[in-house]
Structure 1
Amino acid sequence: MNDPQVPAHLEYVFEMRVEFRPERCMFGPLPGGGGHQGYTPCASGTIYGPRLSGIVVPDSGADYAHVRTDGTVVVNSHYLLEADDGTKIYINNNGYLVPSKPGEGKLVHGVRQPAYFCFSPTFTVPEGPHDWMSRTLFIGTGHRRTDPDHSIFTYYAVRSTID
């Protein structure tokens, strides 16, 4: 048997701190016992890292969450970013947040973290210095925080090691 090699590696690109408004909307149960639907508006945020820095445009988006009956949160978030050079960038995160079981999960800054919080974002970017983002595959991880309510998202570009 051959030793399989992973034909890719991850490049750290940036982190984003997204501040949330206290207003939340949750409704359900959904027809067919499909869980609940939710909405959390984004207030603002900051972007920092080696390949991108800037802000999350205030009040430009929200997290739309489908909370399944097994407790898994299907994440679909939309925000407008603004790079330091003024470039507007639309981001759409899709992924999963799986809550930790009672008594489990790592504590970070006093907040019990989800067992799993990962997503795959896509970016819509105008031609220019950041348009590489619209043709690169990314993965991301998330951490929840409180005081104030916010999340830290870390993004990695998937780079091929095949020439």
Structure 2
Amino acid sequence: MLEPTAADCRLEHVFDIEVHFGSDRMIFGPLPGGASQGYTPAIGGTITGPRLNGIVLPQTGADYARVRNDGTIELEAHYLLQADDGTPIYIHNRGYLVRPLPGESQPAYFKLTPYFRVQEGPHDWLSRTVIVGGGERRSDPDRSLFRYYALL
């Protein structure tokens, strides 16, 4: 057994985001290679957690999902967030939608890695911290719930 080192990792919950979506969604394709491209605009949302609170600024981004021929959905989303102190934060989420295997009853879920751009100040830890997340899509209203963890 290896001794613990500084290279060991643990997770710390840092915040959750609930993103609300508009009805202007679009899917088009096939693209070269057979995939389809999706677009779903974000109309707002909230950020809550131990290290960040605020809102998803309305009409500042969207989910751009690519549906591959093998059924895998590649997620790519861009939004502007605003911390409670007014700091603007750009988030770029990349990941995958994981669908249940045939016969499984669990819902589909997301696994993703966000990247952030933020000005120097109290939230610049986001731009130098490896963060991973997971989430679920919900309906009524149409929204996604994400939970984010810092990799320490």
Name the TM tier (shorter chain).
over 0.9
Q: CA deviation at 1:70?
A: 1.4
Unaligned residue ranges in structure 2 (runs of 5+): none
Moved more, 20-29 or 75-84: 20-29
Alignment of 1:82-161 (within 5 A): 82-106=82-106, 113-114=107-108, 116-159=109-152
Q: CA deviation at 1:144?
A: 1.1
Paired residues, number:
150
> Percent identity between the aligned chains?
57
Residue aligning to 1:56: 56
Tell me if the contact between 2:37 and 2:67 (Cα under 8 Å) persists in the aligned partners.
yes
Structure 2 residue 38 is matched with structure 1 residue 38: yes
Q: CA deviation at 1:100?
A: 2.1
- Deviation >4 Å, runs of 4+: 3-6
| Separation (CA, whole Å) in 1 of partners of 2:16 and 2:31 | 34
Tell me if the contact between 1:71 and 1:99 (Cα under 8 Å) persists in the aligned partners.
no
State the one-letter code of the partner of 1:122. Answer: Y
Q: CA deviation at 1:156?
A: 0.3
Q: Give the TM-score, by structure 2 length.
A: 0.93
Q: CA deviation at 1:143?
A: 0.9
Unaligned residue ranges in structure 1 (runs of 5+): 107-112
Residue aligning to 1:80: 80
